[in-house]
Structure 1
Amino acid sequence: MNDHGASRGDTKGSPFGDKGQYSFSTCWNIRRQPGGRAMIEEIAALGFRRVELNYNVTREMLEEIEPMIERGEIGVSSVHNTFPHTPDPDYGTDSVLLGFDDEARRLKAVSLLVESAEYAHRYGGEAVVVHPGEVPIDPADVKRLEKLYHEAGRESQAYRAAWAVFLERRESAAGGYLQRIVASLDEACNLAASKGLNVRFGIETRSRPNQMPTLAEAKTVIEALRGAPVGIWYDTGHAIMMDRLGLYDSVGEMDGLMDHIVGVHIHETIGLSDHWCPYVHSGDPHFYDAYLPMIERAAVKVYELKAACLPEEIEAGHRLLTDKLAKRAAQAGR
C-alpha cells in the first residue's frame, strides 16, 4: 500500500477546483459521516486528493477507507496520533502522553506513537502529527484565564496578574515533562527506524497554554534530537491563540524553526475560536499573511477546519490563500 510522494486521489466530478498538494483533515466531517467511505467521498468532492486521518478515525472506519487508498481513490498525507482512535483518555489528545512520569504509561504512549507511524507509512503518508504532552494544570484554571481574556482583555491588570501566576506554575513544572518528551521521541524514532518506517514526526503547536510545546520548547526538542526525523508541526490557528494569550510570539519566535517545519495545519481564529477558513470568517484580508511563510515552507499542508465551515467557504478561503502564495512566489522569482 505504501506509495510515498504519489499524487493520488480522484477529484473527478467535484464542482470545486483540484486542490493539488493540499490535504484536508477528517476532523471536518467525522461526526457528520460515521462511515469511512462517505467521509472520504465528501472530502474528495471538495477537490482534495489527499486527506489527513485524524485521531477520531476508528478501526471500523479504516475497513472502508483502506480499500479506497489501495485503489488510489484517495491519498494520505499524514495521520494524527493517537491513530487509530484510542478511547483511553490517558492517550487522548489532551494528555501528558510522552511526558508521563509513570514509566509503564510513558512506554505505552511511545508504542502507540510508533503504531501511528506504521499506519502512516503503510498508507504512503509523509508524517505523523504529534501532541507531545502537557503540564498537568486543572482545565478550570485555563478556562478562567480565557474568560478573563474575553471579559477584561490581555492588557488588564486582572489578566496580567492571573497570567503571571499561571506562567510561573507552568514554567516551574515544565522541565521534567520536556525531558521525558525528548526521551520518548528518541525511543520512538529508534523503533521507527528499526521497522524501516519512512515518516517524520511533527510536534504540534497546541491550543491551550499548559500544553506543550511552546516554540522555545520545540527548539529544545529538535536540537536535542538533531538528525532524527523530528520537526515542528506548525498549527497556525493554535499558534495565533497562544500568541493572543501571551505564551509566545507566533511569528517572531519562528527564527531557527523555519527549516524544521514538517507540516502545517491551515486555519484561522476569531478571538480564541479556531478552525475557521483563512481570511473568510475573520473578514481580515491581511492578518493571516504573516503565516504564509510557514505554509510555504511546509512539505505537508493540511486544512484543519471545523464542521461549521461550508464547502463554498472552504473554496473561497483556499483561493484567497493560494492566490497570495502565488503572488509571493512570483515576487521572489520562483
Structure 2
Amino acid sequence: MWDKGEYSFSTCWNIKKHPANGRELIEEIKELGFRNVELNYNIKAEHLETIEPMIEKGEIGISSVHNVFPYIADKDYDTDSVMLGFDDEAKRKRSVELLIQSIEYADRYGAKAVVVHPGEVPFAYNIDHELKQLYREHGRESEAYQKLWKEMLQKREQGSPIYTKRIQDSLEEVCEYTAKKGYNIAIGIETRSRCYQMPTLMEAKTICDNLKGAPVYLWYDIGHAMMMDRMGLYNNIEELQQVKSYIYGVHIHETLELSDHWCPYVHSKEEYFDHFLEVIEKAPLKVYELKAVCQPDEIHESHAHITSRIAAEKYHG
C-alpha cells in the first residue's frame, strides 16, 4: 500500500532517534514504504555493523551516500566547511581522500551517487545566520538586510572564481582516481543552505562544463535552492531551466520562509512546489530529505501529492 517505488529516503529523518542501531533506523524507514535509502553523513561505523548485513541480504537498497561517509568527528570536514576548496593544501588533500572514501563505500553498497557539499567562500563568522535573523526580523527589503547582503555578496563574488577553480581541480583529482579504479559512481555537487556556501546553480554549471566527460553533476536540493532564491542569491526558477540537464539527483523537501526540510504541499498548503515536478520526474535519483518532525502520515500525503501531480502532468500547465 505504501510502496514508494523508485523514490529513496534519507536517514537524516531518524538518525537522532537511533544513535547506534542501524537496523532499527532502516526498519523504520522501510515501514514508510521505501525500498531505497540515502545514507547521510551522520551514519557512523557503528550503524554500519547492522546496516551492512541488510544491504548484503537485499533487505534494503542504497541509492546514494552523503559525503563525508561514514561520520567523522572533525569540524574541518563537516558539512559546513571549505572542504574541496581549502587554501591549506594538506587539508584540501585530506578532503579529496575523504571523498574518495565515500565513493568507495558507495561502490561497495551498490549506490549510484555520492552527494557532496563541495565548499564555500570562507567568512570570518557565520554571516548567513546574521542575514537570516535580519530577514526574519526586518524583511529582505530592509536597510539593515540590504546593507549586510551587499557586503556578503561583494566578498562572495570576489572569492567565487578562486574557490570554484579549486573545487573543480579537487574533483578532477577524485575523478582521475575513480576512473582508474573503474568506479561507476556519480558525484553530485549539492545546492546549499547558506548564502556563502557553494555552489550556486551557475557555479555548478561552470564546474560541470569544465569537467565535461567526468561523472560530476548537479545535485539539486529543492528546499535549499528555494531558500537561496528568497534571500536573493539567485533566481531559482529561471536558472533551473539552464541547469536541468546537469541534474543527477534531487533532495525533495520544501522551505517555509527560511526553514527547510518540510513535506512538500502538506506544510506550506501551497502549489508553488509544482515548479519542481518536472525536475523530480526526470532525475535519476529522487531522495526525500525530511526533518524529524515530519510524521509518517504527512510523508505519505506529500508523496501522494507529488506522484499524482506528476502523473497528471499538471506542471506542464
TM-score range (shorter-chain normalised) is over 0.9
Q: Answer yes or no: is the 8 Å Cα contact 1:222–1:230 preserved in 2.
A: yes
**Take 2:86 and 2:198, find their aligned partners in 1: how far apart are those partners?**
13
Q: Does 1:206 align with 2:183?
A: no
More divergent stretch after superposition (226-235 vs 249-258): 249-258
Compute the displacement of 1:174 (Å): 1.9
Count of aligned positions: 316
Match of 2:133 in 1: 147
The answer to whether the aligner puts 1:74 opposite 2:72 as a matched pair is: no
Letter in 1 for 2:186: R
Residue by residue over 1:7-41, the C-alpha shift from the partner in whole angstroms, topping out at 9 and shown as x without a partner, is xxxxxxxxx51000000000000000121000000
- Counterpart CA distance in 2 for 1:162 and 1:235 is 25
Name the SS for the 1:107 alignment partner: helix
Q: Which runs of 4+ in 1 moved over 6 A?
A: 329-332
User: Percent identical across equivalent pairs?
Assistant: 58
Residue identity opposite 1:317 in structure 2: S
Superposition pairs for residues 52-201 of structure 1, below 5 Å?
52-201=38-187
Unaligned 5+ residue runs, structure 1? 1-15
Aligned residue in 2 for 1:31: 16
Q: CA deviation at 1:329?
A: 8.2
Report Cα offsets for 1:283-313 as digits up to 9, x if no partner.
11x1111111221221000000000000011
Q: How many Å separate the matches in 1 of 2:155 and 2:314? A: 44
Partner of residue 289, structure 2: 304
Match of 1:290 among 275, 291, 302: 275
8 Å CA contact 2:102–2:114 kept in 1: the answer is: yes
- Report deviation, 1:139: 4.0
Shift of 1:195: 1.1
1:231-286 C-alpha deviation (Å, 9 max, x unpaired): 100000000000000000111012331111010000001110000001001111x1
Question: What is the SS of the residue equivalent to 2:236?
Answer: coil
How far apart are the structure 2 equivalents of 1:56 and 1:331? 38
TM-score normalized with structure 1 length = 0.92
Q: Report the Cα distance in structure 2 between the residues aligned to 1:119 and 1:143, rounded to whole angstroms.
A: 33
Within 2, Cα distance between the matches of 1:225 and 1:270? 35
Partner of 1:45: 31
Structure 1 vs Structure 2 CA RMSD? 1.4
Q: Secondary structure of the equivalent of 1:43? A: helix
- Closer, same or farther: CA 173–259 of 1 in aligned 2, 3 Å: same
Where does residue 10 of structure 1 map in the other structure? none
Task: Using the TM superposition, give the Cα deviation of residue 331 of structure 1 relative to its aligned residue in structure 2, in angstroms.
Answer: 7.0
